[in-house]
Structure 1
Amino acid sequence: MKVIIVEDEVLASENLIYLLKNIDPNIEVLKVLDSVKSSINFFSKPIEADLIFMDIHLADGLSFEIFDKVTVKTPLIFTTAYDQYAIKAFKVNSVDYLLKPLNEEELADAIIKFNSIVKTEPTINNSQIESVLQLLNSNNKTFKSTYLVQSRDELIPLKISDIAYFYIEVGIIKAITLDNKSFIINEKLESIVEEIDTSKFYRVNRQFVVNREAVLKIKFYFNGKLVLKTNPPFKERIIVSKAKATEFKNWMNN
């Protein structure tokens, strides 16, 4: 299989290549593109790739802008770090996606899925891309505002805006408020991320979702990772993976 990678983070593209080689040593990476501009130039000419892995957020814009300029007939698997709009659109339109940081098992499953789908539906169509763009640019998205949580022998509505961070502890989801109170949330972390406003909350790793208002400092950590200092403080290091570090800083800067 011959693949092309569209990814602006060097570490992320290197990690993807490493995982692909682990899954199948015969996979050949023809090209790594790091921007909308370079992708448009590249895809304006005939290509012989079997599959494209494409990050949504590139340094010079959304990768969907590529399709405004050129027609890409090669099947695509999109990658995204946190964009729940896109994930929902992919599910509706049968466009595949992978959530960063990439997992080898999920990547292998996606390739198996690609091999089965490509026989009957070799390319995505314009309507699929348009649907994703509409959801990405939509201002009508409504977000969950409260969770009903137990406090001793009663139930109380907990405002999401008052939550500093969510985290997983021994399989249980806990929410810590800005005034340092702890509550159990009876949902999966994946479901929570789909319900809350991702302009205010960011999933920094598989165990932790943080409120922008709770972040006091960002410290550089080894191997390109970041460590967050929050208020209230957490008992352990809150680490942003190297695959998400650049995007997290951009998110904090917006």
Structure 2
Amino acid sequence: MNILIIEDEQLAIERLTLLLKTYDEKINVLGAVESVEEAVEWLSTKTHPDLLFVDIHLADGHSFEIFKRVIVKKPIIFTTAYDQYALDAFQLYSIDYILKPITAASLANAINKYKVMVANTAQPNYKVLLNELKENIATKYKNRFFAKIGQKLFFIAVHEIAYFIADNKIVHLVSTDGKKYIVNVTMEKLEKLVDPSLFFRANRKFMVHIDAIEQVRPYDNNRLLVLIKNIAIAEDIIISREKVAAFKLWADS
């Protein structure tokens, strides 16, 4: 079975590839492309794989744009943290929809559906799928992150996160015990992945968890200084003057 991965997070690519090989070492991952443009180029110039694993939210747009520009008649399994896109996903030739983080069980279930479909040479029953989704669909946010220190990989639950900090193009997750991990995601994308009732984007560099805040102090120029519990931070977390009102509303909600 030949598979193409369309995904913009390197850690997610590595994990999916490992899970696929664990499921069946004979699976051939043809490659991974990270954007709408790269996917359109790949699918326009190469023989299409037997099956595609496609993240919905890519760095340069939603993956649905790919299928508006290239005719793809092969089955698709969507992988994403956003289940609000499920209805759009099943309008395409999709056989399953897996919410991240992908588990071995959810992956096996999706591939087994693919095998049944191929054996029956029939397309999925979209009417049934759509009806199920309409009954169960709800906005979900990530409850854990796949992060790393050096070459070691970890799952960090949301309640274990104190804050995120952006350092140039690298985003770090800092846990409540002060450990610093790399996460392969931008701050802009994080704002869509996390529950806004738990996390607040303090400024361009910092996003803080409500439970990690020890106290908030007035700061110069009508700004606020946020202090984190049990963690010494080299750089102050400052709520900009423009965000003070929104922060107070968030903190009091």
What TM-score do you get using the length of structure 1 for normalisation? 0.54
Distance 1:122 1:45, change over 3 A: farther
Aligned to 2:142: 203
CA RMSD of aligned residues (A): 4.3
Conserved 8 A contact 2:95-2:110 = no
Deviates more, 1:242-251 or 1:106-115: 242-251
Listed one character per residue, the Cα deviations across residues 144-191 of structure 1 (whole Å, up to 9, x for unaligned) are xxxxxxxxxxxxxxxxxxxxxxxxxxxxxxxxxxxxxxxxxxxxxxx7
Residue aligning to 1:226: 173
How far did 1:47 drift?
1.4
In 1, the alpha carbon distance for the partners of 2:7 and 2:122 equals: 22
| CA positional deviation for 1:23 | 0.8
Q: Identity of counterpart residues, as a percentage?
A: 36
Change (3 A) 1:219 1:20: same
1:79 partner SS: strand
The equivalent position to 1:248 in structure 2, one of 185, 190, 195, is 190
Note if 1:29 corresponds to 2:33. Answer: no
Could you give the per-residue CA deviations for residues 194-217 of structure 1, whole angstroms, max 9, x where no partner exists?
54xx4xx7333299778xxxx984
The one-letter code sitting in structure 2 at the alignment partner of 1:84 is D
Say which SS state the counterpart of residue 107 (structure 1) adopts: helix
Q: Partner of 2:11 in structure 1?
A: 11
Q: Secondary structure at the match of 1:202?
A: coil
Change (3 A) 1:54 1:119: same
CA apart distance, 1:228: 6.4
Matches for 1:1-254 after TM superposition, within 5 Å? 1-81=1-81, 83-87=82-86, 95-120=95-120, 194-195=137-138, 198=139, 202-205=141-144, 217-219=163-165, 226-227=173-174, 242=183, 247-249=189-191, 251=193
Is the CA contact (8 Å cut-off) linking 1:56 and 1:64 kept in structure 2?
yes
Deviation at residue 91 of structure 1 after TM alignment:
7.0
Tell whether the 8 Å contact from 2:95 to 2:114 is kept in structure 1 after alignment: no
Distance 1:63 1:11, change over 3 A: same
Could you tell me how far apart the structure 2 residues matched to 1:241 and 1:111 are?
30
Conserved 8 A contact 2:10-2:184: no
Task: Please report how far the alpha carbon of residue 45 of structure 1 lies from its aligned counterpart in structure 2 after TM superposition.
Answer: 3.0
Structure 2 distance, partners of 1:219, 1:208, is 17
Looking at structure 2, the residues matched to 209 and 31 of structure 1 have their Cα atoms a distance apart, in angstroms, of 31
State whether residues 204 and 248 of structure 1, in contact with CA within 8 Å, keep that contact through their aligned partners in structure 2: no
1:19 Cα shift? 0.7
CA distance in 1, matches of 2:34, 2:45: 17
Gaps (5+ residues) in structure 1?
A: 136-140, 142-190, 230-235
Aligned partners of 1:225 and 1:245 also within 8 Å: no
Q: Residues 61, 240 of structure 1: CA spacing in aligned structure 2 closer, same or farther, 3 A cutoff? A: farther
Greater radius of gyration (CA): 2
Q: Shift of the alpha carbon at 1:90? A: 5.3
In structure 1, what is the Cα distance between the partners aligned to 2:8 and 2:103?
Answer: 19
| C-alpha separation in 2, matches of 1:120 and 1:244 | 39
TM-score (norm 2): 0.54
In the alignment, residue 86 of structure 2 is paired with which amino acid? I
**Displacement of 1:35 after TM fit?**
0.5
Post-superposition offset of 1:32: 0.8
CA shift for structure 1 position 245: 7.2
Q: Is the 8 A contact 1:101 1:244 kept in 2?
A: no
Q: In structure 2, do the counterparts of structure 1 residues 116 and 240 end up closer, same or farther at CA, with 3 Å as the change threshold?
A: farther
Partner deviation per Cα, 1:9-60 (whole Å, 9 max, x = no partner)? 1111011101111111100011211110011111113514111100001100
Q: Tell me how many residue pairs correspond in the alignment.
A: 175
Gaps of 5+ in 2: 146-155, 194-199, 205-253
Instruction: Return the alpha-carbon distance in structure 2 between the equivalents of residues 242 and 53 of structure 1.
Output: 21
